Amino acid sequence: MTIKKVRVRFAPSPTGGLHLGGVRTVLFNYLFAKKYDGDFVLRIEDTDQNRYVEGAEAYILDCLKWCGLLPDESPAAGGPFAPYRQSERKSIYREYAERLVRQGHAYYAFDTPEELEQNRRDIPNFQYGHAYRGGLRNSLSLSEHEVDELLDAQTPHVIRIKVPVDERVVFHDMIRGHVAFDTNQVDDKVLLKADGMPTYHLAVVVDDYLMKITHAFRGEEWLPSAPVHLLLWEYLGWKNDMPHWAHLPLILKPDGHGKLSKRDGARLGFPVYAMNWFDAKTGELTPGFRELGFLPEAFLNLLATLGWNDGTDQEIFTLDELIEKFTMDRISKAGAKFDFEKAKWFNAEWIKKSEAGSLKPEVKKILEDKGILATDEEYLLKVIDKVKDRCVLLPDFYQQAGYFFEQPKEYDLPSVKPKWTTAKTEFFRELISGFKAVDKWEELELETLFKALAEEKAIKAGEVLLPFRIMLVGGKFGLHVFDIAAVLGKEKTLDRIEKALAVFVA
Ligand code: GLU
């Protein structure tokens, strides 16, 4: 027996932004493929033209690029099974639908949308299936002659699967184990629409087969569709080539009640999409993790832990570690609650862990957006190294690092003025002279000099430390104050003390 090369696919419909659950599906696909030296395919399932949204495909690709999860085959990269956009494969599918009709596993249905609407109104819980199909206008109920006539007259029609009565469809899911469905609960899904486009159900099976997909990961919400797909694999005679299924656990709202939706994000104040998504039709902007200031490494890390763990307490993983440690038996069946505080913790850990050099482009941009041009690269790297442990989201670099590049625009005067004394003015005047004479401009030197002067002047160091900080940064934040002075350098430190002093004594 030859061992097949592992081939997985992410098969999104381009209908809008990419939910974090979608990116987790990509990640698990990717980890599995890379672990077994396989191929990761991106296939765009755009057969539902009514739900097609301009720009959504490019957005999906951008998300994958940002995350560093690039497909081996895709509409953009091409590949041996191109095209990878189902709308461009339209001509492929009819043949399979017709084959199913010939074999008696599918049938033509001529019911008009109005007739179906009427049925839905008249019959509670109407489903087009074994209970009613005998009385509807289709090739099961009409005579062969009538059907031929309708077909010859090019009467609009669809092709539906004929789901068998009283059967059980079973399969083995890599996460859920044995899964069984009662066919009496499954309706006769449309396979080919009146316009000749396949539906998702037919296209997904045909393409997974033609593209030689060996393992199919998708969200749990697709489980109800599985019996239709299994029947199609069987009826088309491809059962032995069917991929191994893995229906991934849902990502739940923070309180564990139900699937995390786009609306929950807006309600609870955190992103649900990978990147900002702008809907041109509604003018609505849905915020993304990227724009909020997440590192892609942190985003992937947090997604990996939503429904998976390696069996130890380890929480921080690089992509390479994930590839090495990922195993299917450690994916849980239960839904995973999303916790935004935990998500931010991952980001803070990743910022800490990152080299200043790799953070530099993002930080530079954040400062630039605030009008700060950090041209001295070495100084910028030094500052990033100093403050990165204090940043949770990338924009925090502005508050934590901005003051190294620009003088305070305003001072927290209420924290200084009421307690200001002439003794303090004296102290800072002498501090300026003392600092001017310092040769070794280092944290410890500055602190020693500062404290010695306070003692000499009989001022408690605590009383002048806060004003000193406010002189340098404007408020009650930032690094250890002598560390700030050391990084700023002599000239800037003296300049800031002098400027602030003028304001404080005024
Ligand atoms: N086109 C489906 C989606 O939009 C794919 C489901 C599957 O992976 O089978 O998610």
Per residue in 413-444, pLDDT (tens digit) is 999 999 999 999 999 999 999 999 999 999 99
**Can you give the residue range of the structural domain that contains 341?**
1-77+249-353
Atom of ligand 1 nearest to the CA of 15: 4
Answer yes or no: is 83 within a domain.
no
Model confidence over 366-403: pLDDT tens digits? 999 999 999 999 999 999 999 999 999 999 999 999 99
Name the residue of 7, 42, 57, 204 to mutate for ligand 1: max ligand atoms within 8 A of Cβ: 204
Residues 258 and 291 in one domain: yes
**What is the 424 CA–ligand 1 centroid distance (Å)?**
69
Instruction: Enumerate the active-site residues.
Output: 262
Residues 106 and 232 in one domain: yes
Closest CA to 188 of 98, 109, 92: 109
Q: What pLDDT score does 1 carry?
A: 62
User: Average of pLDDT values for 448-455?
Assistant: 98
Residues 127 and 234 in one domain: yes
Atom of ligand 1 nearest to the CA of 222: 6
Residues 114 and 204 in one domain: yes
Q: What pLDDT score does 367 carry?
A: 97
CATH number at residue 381: 1.10.8
Model confidence over 144-194: pLDDT tens digits? 999 999 999 999 999 999 999 999 999 999 999 999 999 999 999 999 999
**What is the 11 CA–ligand 1 centroid distance (Å)?**
5
- Which of 42-46, 259-263, 318-322 has the lowest average pLDDT? 259-263
Residue nearest to atom 10 of ligand 1 (CA): 12
CATH number at residue 444: 1.10.10.350
CB 228 within 8 A of CB 161: yes
CB 384 within 8 A of CB 397: yes
Coil, strand or helix at 179: strand
- Residue 219 predicted with pLDDT over 70: yes
**What is the 64 CA–ligand 1 centroid distance (Å)?**
16
Residue nearest to atom 2 of ligand 1 (CA): 12
Cis, peptide link before residue 408, omega less than 30° from 0: no
Atom of ligand 1 nearest to the CA of 204: 9
**What is the 21 CA–ligand 1 centroid distance (Å)?**
12
- Residue 486 predicted with pLDDT over 80: yes
Q: What are phi and psi of 110, to 5 degrees?
A: -105, 5
Residues 48 and 62 in one domain: yes
Residue nearest to atom 8 of ligand 1 (CA): 218
User: Average of pLDDT values for 35-40?
Assistant: 98
Quick one: DSSP state of residue 40? E
Residues 225 and 170 in one domain: yes
Alpha-carbon distance of 372 to 386, in angstroms, equals 18
Model confidence over 45-87: pLDDT tens digits? 999 988 888 899 999 999 999 999 999 999 999 999 999 999 9
Residues 433 and 471 in one domain: yes
**What is the 277 CA–ligand 1 centroid distance (Å)?**
20
- CB atoms closer than 10 angstroms to residue 395: 17
Alpha-carbon distance of 301 to 323, in angstroms, equals 12
Q: Which residues line ligand 1 (CB under 6 A)?
A: 11-13, 45, 200, 204, 218, 222
Q: Which of 248, 263, 288 is the last residue of a domain?
A: 248
Q: What pLDDT score does 116 carry?
A: 96
User: Average of pLDDT values for 348-359?
Assistant: 98
CB 262 within 8 A of CB 284: no
Residue nearest to atom 3 of ligand 1 (CA): 12
- Residue 20 predicted with pLDDT over 70: yes
Quick one: DSSP state of residue 417? G
Atom of ligand 1 nearest to the CA of 229: 9
Name the residue of 13, 23, 47 to mutate for ligand 1: max ligand atoms within 8 A of Cβ: 13
Residues 28 and 94 in one domain: no
Q: Which of 248, 270, 288 is the last residue of a domain?
A: 248
Q: Which of 248, 274, 304 is the last residue of a domain?
A: 248
Name the residue of 29, 40, 45 to mutate for ligand 1: max ligand atoms within 8 A of Cβ: 45
**What is the 66 CA–ligand 1 centroid distance (Å)?**
21
- Residue 348 predicted with pLDDT over 80: yes
What's the number of domains the chain is made of?
4
Residues 254 and 226 in one domain: no
Residue nearest to atom 5 of ligand 1 (CA): 11
**What is the 47 CA–ligand 1 centroid distance (Å)?**
11
What average pLDDT does the chain have? 97
Name the residue of 25, 221, 222, 250 to mutate for ligand 1: max ligand atoms within 8 A of Cβ: 222
Helix (H) or strand (E) run with residue 93 in it: helix 90-103
Atom of ligand 1 nearest to the CA of 25: 8
User: Which residues are CB-contacts of 372 (< 8 A; sequence separation ≥ 6)?
Assistant: 402, 405, 406
Residues 197 and 319 in one domain: no
Closest CA to 21 of 301, 300, 346, 303: 303
Residues 277 and 329 in one domain: yes
**What is the 12 CA–ligand 1 centroid distance (Å)?**
5
Answer yes or no: is 82 within a domain.
no
Atom of ligand 1 nearest to the CA of 200: 1
Residues 129 and 238 in one domain: yes
